[in-house]
Amino acid sequence: MAMATRLFDAVAPQLALERNNRARFRRRAPSRSCLHDLATHPSPRDRRIMPPVAAPGAGWARERGTRRAGHEDYTLNWVLDSALAAEIRRRFSSGGIEPSTLRG
C-alpha cells in the first residue's frame, strides 16, 4: 500500500488535479491497488465458465452486454455488495471513502 501512495506522489504532479481531488485520489490509491486483482481467475481459460454480464443478478457488472464476466466484474461485486462493503463503510466512511468511490 505504501508503494501505491509513493507511485501516486510521483505521478500526481504531472496531472492537472485540483487540490481537493488530489488529496481524495491519494487516499484511495492504496485501497484501490489492494483490490485491483482481488478476483483474478487462476487462468484466462477460466473466463469460459463465467456467466454473461447480462445474466440475472449481474447488475454489478462494469457494463452490460453479451460478454462474459471478468475478474474486474467480480471484484466490483465483492466491493459493492458483500460483507467487505460493510467493512469499508465502517472503517473508512469518516474519511470520505465508500465502496462506490472505489468503483473507478
- pLDDT, tens digit, 9 for 90 and up, residues 11-56: 888 888 898 888 888 888 887 777 666 666 656 666 677 777 776 5
Query: Are 51 and 79 found together in one domain?
Result: yes
Query: Are 59 and 102 found together in one domain?
Result: yes
pTM score, whole prediction: 0.51
CB 61 within 8 A of CB 76: yes
* R_g of the chain, CA atoms, integer Å: 16
Query: Are 31 and 43 found together in one domain?
Result: no
- pLDDT, tens digit, 9 for 90 and up, residues 82-100: 888 888 888 888 878 788 8
Query: Are 103 and 73 found together in one domain?
Result: yes
CB 50 within 8 A of CB 69: yes
Query: Are 75 and 25 found together in one domain?
Result: no
